[in-house]
Amino acid sequence: MALSNICGADPAWECGSFEAPTPELFGVDYIQGKTAISALNCGEYNVGLSLPTLDAHQKIVQSLLEAPSTDLQLQQGAEHTKTANPRNLFLHGTTTLSFKFQGGVMVAVDSRASSGQQISSQTVNKVIPISKYLLGTMAGGAADCTYWMRVLNRQCRMYELRNRERITVSAASKLLSNMLYGYKGSGISIGSMIAGYDKRGPGLYVIDNDGMRVAGNCFSIGSGSPYAFGVLDTEYRWDLTDKEAYELARRAIYHATMRDPYSGGNVSVYHIKETGWVKIETQDVSDLFYKDRGIPVTA
């Protein structure tokens, strides 16, 4: 009691007002140990202080849950109801695309990062090198994509050291898919494309945060993807020349940035060939706008 008097502890914290926690809040394992907890605080080892009451726990947990919910509703508008899960209301915006053709794989992305209704950055690099022959694209949560691409980079390098051969695009995408499946339902946000060139030729896969893995010839991911597909579906074909593929990828991203408010910044184009990937160019969408309409750019 002396320690309680010196510290000025509230009487509600003393032994007499201790309340056992309920199974709904802490689970069976905690409840089975309540006898030991009560003995520690109310038996021979009693020092006059006990655990906070259940009401105190509930108030703390409730305050932690309510604050972000209010912030998200204010940030993202009234279209989200109070019953919606705030952890799933984050807005993601981007436009990324990849397609295979006779000369390899073409990858193009914008560079705008958005946080709700706010533009966070105009210079984000959404193409992440995995190896000399593999590239990954970023769509969804920037932190999630960056982290898991670094993990994939390490796993691919370990594979090459163990097996003394280059990892295939299929194997690399399967590694990422297996890792993400283990975190299914945990709230991570990833929509990435794994593009590369191996002994089988050009390869292209899409992987999402649930571990889904799909192979294909032409993909676009992000809020601007419907506009990018409008260009790709019209002009994409397998026998494109390198120059035609550059122009198609650049134009698809450009038109998406003109219609999608969450896409913009710069258009970056990459070409993955048998000898590895190369960055073709990075152009500001404003310059492409003037060029597309034949408007001279004045200094």
pLDDT, one tens digit for every residue, the chain (299 residues): 555 555 555 554 444 444 555 555 444 444 444 444 444 444 444 444 445 555 655 665 565 555 444 444 444 444 444 444 544 444 467 999 999 999 999 999 999 988 878 888 899 999 999 999 999 999 998 899 999 999 999 999 999 999 999 999 999 999 999 999 999 989 899 999 999 999 999 999 999 999 999 999 999 999 999 999 999 999 999 999 999 999 999 999 999 999 999 999 999 999 999 999 999 999 999 998 888 888 876 65
Class of the domain covering 96-292: alpha beta
8 Å CB contact between 232 and 224: no
Residues 6+ apart with CB under 8 A from 198: 133, 166, 167, 168, 169
**234 has catalytic annotation:** no
HEC profile for the chain?
A: CHHHHHHCCCHHHCHHHCCCCCHHHHCHHHHHCHHHHHHHHHCCCCCCCCCCCHHHHHHHHHHHHHHHHHHHHHHHCCCCCCCCCHHHCCCCCCCEEEEEECCEEEEEECCCEEECCEEEECCCCCEEEEECCEEEECCECHHHHHHHHHHHHHHHHHHHHHHCCCCCHHHHHHHHHHHHHCCCCCCCCEEEEEEEEECCEEEEEEEECCCCEEECCEEEECCCHHHHHHHHHHHCCCCCCHHHHHHHHHHHHHHHHHHCCCCCCEEEEEEEECCEEEEEEEEEHHHHHHHHCCCCCCC
Amino acid letter, residue 47: V
* CA separation for the pair 42, 50 (Å, rounded): 8
**Residue 109: which of 93, 97, 123 has the closest Cα?**
97
Pairwise CA distance, residues 131 & 157, whole Å? 8
C-alpha distances in Å from residue 14, one per residue of 19, 38, 66 = 11, 12, 29
Q: Whole-structure pTM over 0.75, yes or no?
A: no
**What does residue 207 show for φ and ψ, rounded to 5 degrees?**
-130, 135
Q: How many residues does the chain have?
A: 299
Could you tell me if 254 and 95 are in contact, meaning their C-beta atoms sit under 8 angstroms apart? no
Q: By the 8 A CB rule, do 157 and 132 touch?
A: no
Domain with CATH 3.60.20.10 in the chain: 96-292
Catalytic residue chosen out of the listed positions 70, 94, 95, 146: 94
pLDDT given at position 7: 54
Torsion of CA 21, 23, 29, 33, to 10 degrees: 30
Q: What is the pLDDT of residue 17?
A: 47
* 142: amino acid identity, one letter: A
Asked whether 223 and 263 are in contact (CB, 8 A), the reply is yes
